[in-house]
Each structure stands twice: as structure tokens, then as C-alpha cells.
């Protein structure tokens, strides 16, 4: 991006974008708590989608979605995506058209309003320091989800600092095998240019979401699962090289 434009954008970022993000997070977070307390997780999803679209609109982030024919809105999937930026969250939730429940680290539950809102949205909080406890949390949460809910995993476990797809963790794939849900591979492109990891260097820009064909995981041995994990990783990584 042109350095002059980037410099000129900074007052807008600090005076408009960040205060607006705080405001809509507070208002829609409280709304999500109220709706979730009296209705269902599905009812809160529309508020999360609204928050996501408003967040992308104020920056602005232009989102392009390809591969819509590869999945059915309203159906449950285990969504597996690469992770480049915090921008990935509103981009995916706002535009992919699924009732997404996020797998989040336990510490985020403590954030005022946000943590409680995520609870009512149906997000799954896990303790990353204890593998079995994390798996148990996901299993328990799945029992509370509606038939429309899709669980999203950033399979690398954290944001990629160099833009390359890192090795995938097994959690999403074990969960898919146990529940019988198809894995829906998703590639996120260019979000790192909008907001790099470990930075507030936010700028407008395009982000592309590519949804690939579902992958079904059959019961099998550990070697077969490892092969499937690597195959999905290859599918997700391929568009990033073009």
C-alpha cells in the first residue's frame, strides 16, 4: 500500500475505526447476552454476523468468497482454516454463511462482556495447556449445539507469523472423526496485509475466502488420520502460493 495513503489513514483508524469497534463490541455483545439468555445459540448468530460485517465495513475490508457451491448453509461442518490475522475472525463469521462456533483459548472467557457473549454464542473455551481437558470441553460443548452449528478450528493453533501454513494439530480431525461431521477446508488469503500479527498496523484492503470441497474422515488407524491431516493442509496451502 502507498506509504502516503497509509500515513493519512492513521487518524481515521484511531478516531473512527477503533472507537467504533469498541462501541459495537459492547452494544452487540450485551445484546448477544440478552438474546442468548432467553433464546437459542442460533438466535445469537445473526448478531455475530452483524458485528462481523460492521467491523469489515468500517475498515473497510472487501471480502471475496469463492467455492460457495462446495458447502450447504445451515449444515454442520468442522471448518478447518489457516490463520493469518485477527481479521480472519470477522471475515469468516460475517461472510461464509454458516452458524459458526469458535474454539477459543480459556483466557478469553475473562474479557468483560466479550467472554460472556461468546459463551451465549456457543463458542468453545479450551485449556490449551491440557490436551485431554481441551478435548473433553469440545465434546461437552458439541452436545449443547444445534443441528445447524459448525465448529471452526484454526488448525495451526495460532496465527502464522510468516504467512506460511504451519503444521496442523490433530484436534479438529479427531473431533470430526468422532462426530462424523465432514471437514470443510477453508483458505484465507491477504488478511495479513490488512492487519499483521502482533500489530495494530491496520489498513484497508481485500481479503479472499476460498472454500474447498468437504473431506470425510472414516474410522481408521493413526497413520490414516495423519495422511488426511496432511492432505487437508495441502489443500488449504495451495492457493497461498498463487
DSSP string, 174-194: HHHHHHTPPEEEEEEESHHHH
pLDDT at 204: 96
Using CB atoms within 10 Å of the CB of residue 200, give its burial: 0 to 12 exposed, 13 to 18 middle, 19+ buried: exposed
Residue 218 has pLDDT above 70, yes or no: yes
Across residues 91-99, what is the average pLDDT?
Answer: 97
Is residue 63 a contact partner of residue 91, using CB atoms and an 8 Å limit? yes
pLDDT digits (tens, 9 = 90+) for 16-52: 999 999 999 999 999 999 999 998 888 899 999 999 9
What is the pTM assigned to this prediction? 0.93
Count of domains for the chain: 1
Residue 95 belongs to domain spanning: 3-241
Average pLDDT of the chain, as a whole number:
91
pLDDT at 89: 95
Bridge partners, 62 (sequence order): 206
Q: Is the pLDDT higher at 47 or at 198?
A: 47
pLDDT at 61: 98
CA distances from 214 to 49, 179, 184, 217 (A): 23, 15, 5, 10
Max Cα–Cα distance, the chain, nearest Å: 56
- Give the list of residues 6+ apart from residue 240 with CB closer than 8 angstroms, or none: 82, 163, 164, 165, 187, 189
pLDDT digits (tens, 9 = 90+) for 56-67: 999 999 999 999
Residue 130 has pLDDT above 80, yes or no: no
**The three cell numbers locating residue 108:** 478469553
- What CATH number does the domain containing 235 carry? 3.40.1130
Across residues 149-175, what is the average pLDDT?
Answer: 91
Amino acid at each position: 500500500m502507498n506509504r502516503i495513503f497509509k500515513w493519512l489513514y492513521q487518524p481515521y483508524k484511531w478516531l473512527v475505526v477503533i472507537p467504533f469497534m469498541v462501541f459495537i463490541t459492547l452494544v452487540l455483545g450485551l445484546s448477544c447476552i440478552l438474546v442468548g439468555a432467553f433464546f437459542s445459540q442460533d438466535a445469537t448468530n445473526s448478531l455475530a454476523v452483524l458485528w462481523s460485517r460492521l467491523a469489515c465495513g468500517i475498515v473497510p475490508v472487501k471480502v471475496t468468497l469463492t467455492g460457495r457451491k462446495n458447502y450447504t448453509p445451515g449444515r454442520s461442518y468442522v471448518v478447518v482454516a489457516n490463520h493469518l490475522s485477527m481479521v480472519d475472525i470477522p471475515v469468516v463469521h460475517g461472510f461464509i454463511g454458516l452458524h459458526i462456533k469458535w474454539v477459543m483459548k480459556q483466557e478469553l472467557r475473562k474479557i468483560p462482556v466479550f467472554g460472556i457473549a461468546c459463551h451465549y454464542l456457543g463458542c468453545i473455551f479450551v485449556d490449551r495447556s491440557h490436551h485431554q481437558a481441551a478435548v473433553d470441553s469440545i465434546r461437552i460443548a458439541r452436545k449443547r449445539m444445534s443441528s445447524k452449528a459448525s465448529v471452526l478450528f484454526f488448525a495451526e493453533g495460532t496465527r502464522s507469523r510468516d504467512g506460511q501454513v504451519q503444521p496442523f494439530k490433530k484436534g479438529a480431525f479427531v473431533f470430526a472423526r468422532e462426530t462424523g461431521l465432514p471437514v470443510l477446508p477453508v483458505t484465507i488469503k491477504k488478511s495479513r496485509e490488512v492487519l499483521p500479527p502482533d500489530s495494530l498496523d491496520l489498513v484497508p484492503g481485500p481479503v479472499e475466502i476460498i472454500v474447498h470441497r468437504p473431506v470425510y474422515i472414516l474410522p481408521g488407524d493413526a497413520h490414516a488420520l495423519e495422511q488426511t491431516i496432511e492432505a487437508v493442509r495441502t489443500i488449504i496451502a495451495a492457493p497461498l502460493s498463487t
